[in-house]
């Protein structure tokens, strides 16, 4: 199966159209006000309308309360929720809605045990740990810390960019790759050339690996 590509931190309908045209499989909107890529729910609805029929919308949430999550589901109707904070499995699963869970990886963690708690997740996204930020750090983590057995499709994030995503796909063989800052000219401003190069590099690396096998 071809690797999927998610471009996160979309901030305008024009960006949504651009990343969909570049061949991205999913795009993310950040509904976490402290993020430099955050958008209001009303803006996210506009982005969803511009994303087209075959590019899945993912709503990224960080430690939102139940009412806020329910409002996102009702008004935005994303393809997936992405819980990127400290949410427990019970919290994520109470909505009976498809979700992916982000796990921020740092040395010393039992990453396999952390992952095993989210067996109903549609995917597990592994990102770099930062004590001050919940994502978008631009930092790569040690891929050897990834679980040998992942209970859900593995999504690789953290410090990916057009010049290293092919190596990441070859080394990890993830279900999907996720990028935000690595395809930007400034926080929240996606560069069309970098987006196109990232998608092409990820997809071509995956095709090359398939051909070698």
pLDDT score of 117 more than 50: yes
- Annotate 84-121 with b (16+ C-beta within 10 A) or e (fewer): beebeeebbbeeebebbbbbbbeeeeebeebbbebeeb
For residues 165-177, give the mean pLDDT.
96
For residues 41-57, give the mean pLDDT.
96
pLDDT score of 45 more than 70: yes
Residues 121-166 have pLDDT tens digits of: 999 999 987 666 555 566 788 898 898 889 999 999 999 999 999 9
Cα angle: 137, vertex 70, 8; to 5 degrees: 25
For residues 47-64, give the mean pLDDT.
96
What is the per-residue DSSP string for 71-97? Answer: HHHHHH--SEEEE-SS--HHHHHTT-S
How high is the mean pLDDT of the chain? 91
Q: State whether residue 8 is helix, strand or coil.
A: coil
> What pLDDT, on a 0 to 100 scale, did the predictor assign at position 111?
86
Residue 107, H or E segment:
none
Q: What's the gap between Cα 93 and its chain centre? A: 19
For residues 10-31, give the mean pLDDT.
98
> What pLDDT, on a 0 to 100 scale, did the predictor assign at position 109?
81
Long-range contact list for 207-211, CB < 8 A, 24+ apart? 207/2, 208/170, 209/169, 209/170, 209/173
> What pLDDT, on a 0 to 100 scale, did the predictor assign at position 128?
84
**What's the rounded Cα separation, in Å, for the pair 85 and 202?**
27
For residues 38-45, give the mean pLDDT.
98
10 contacts: CB under 8 Å, gap ≥ 6: 16, 19, 27, 28, 29, 39, 47, 190
> Which segment of 90-94, 195-199, 207-211 scores lowest on mean pLDDT?
207-211
> What pLDDT, on a 0 to 100 scale, did the predictor assign at position 207?
55
With pLDDT > 70 as the criterion, what percentage of the chain qualifies?
91
Q: Give the relative orientation of helices 13-21 and 41-50 as an angle to the nearest 10 degrees.
A: 30
pLDDT score of 107 more than 50: yes
**What's the rounded Cα separation, in Å, for the pair 149 and 14?**
39
pLDDT score of 113 more than 90: no
Q: Which of 132, 178, 140 is nearest to 34 (CA)?
A: 132
Q: What's the gap between Cα 132 and its chain centre? A: 19
With pLDDT > 90 as the criterion, what percentage of the chain qualifies?
77
Domains of the chain, start order: 4-212 (3.20.20.70)
Does pTM top 0.85 for this prediction?
yes
Q: State whether residue 160 is helix, strand or coil.
A: coil
pLDDT score of 213 more than 50: no
**What's the rounded Cα separation, in Å, for the pair 141 and 125?**
13
pLDDT score of 209 more than 70: no
């Amino acid at each position: 199966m071809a690797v999927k590509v998610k471009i996160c931190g979309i901030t305008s309908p024009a960006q949504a159209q651009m990343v969909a045209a570049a061949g991205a499989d999913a795009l993310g909107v950040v509904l976490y006000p402290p993020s430099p890529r955050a958008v209001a729910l009303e803006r996210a609805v506009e982005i969803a309308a511009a994303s087209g029929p075959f590019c899945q919308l993912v709503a990224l949430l960080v430690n939102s309360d139940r009412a806020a999550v329910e409002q996102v589901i009702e008004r935005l109707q994303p393809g997936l929720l992405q819980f990127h904070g400290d949410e427990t499995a019970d919290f994520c699963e109470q909505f009976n809605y498809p979700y992916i869970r982000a796990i921020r990886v740092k040395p010393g963690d039992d990453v396999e045990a952390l992952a095993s708690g989210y067996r109903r997740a549609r995917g597990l996204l592994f990102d770099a740990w930062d004590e001050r930020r919940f994502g978008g750090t631009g930092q790569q983590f040690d891929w050897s810390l990834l679980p040998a057995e992942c209970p859900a499709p593995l999504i690789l994030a953290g410090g990916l960019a057009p010049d290293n995503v092919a190596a990441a796909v070859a080394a990890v063989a993830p279900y999907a790759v996720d990028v935000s800052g690595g395809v930007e000219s400034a926080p929240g401003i996606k560069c069309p050339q970098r987006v196109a190069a990232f998608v092409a590099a990820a997809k071509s690396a995956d095709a090359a690996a398939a051909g070698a096998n």
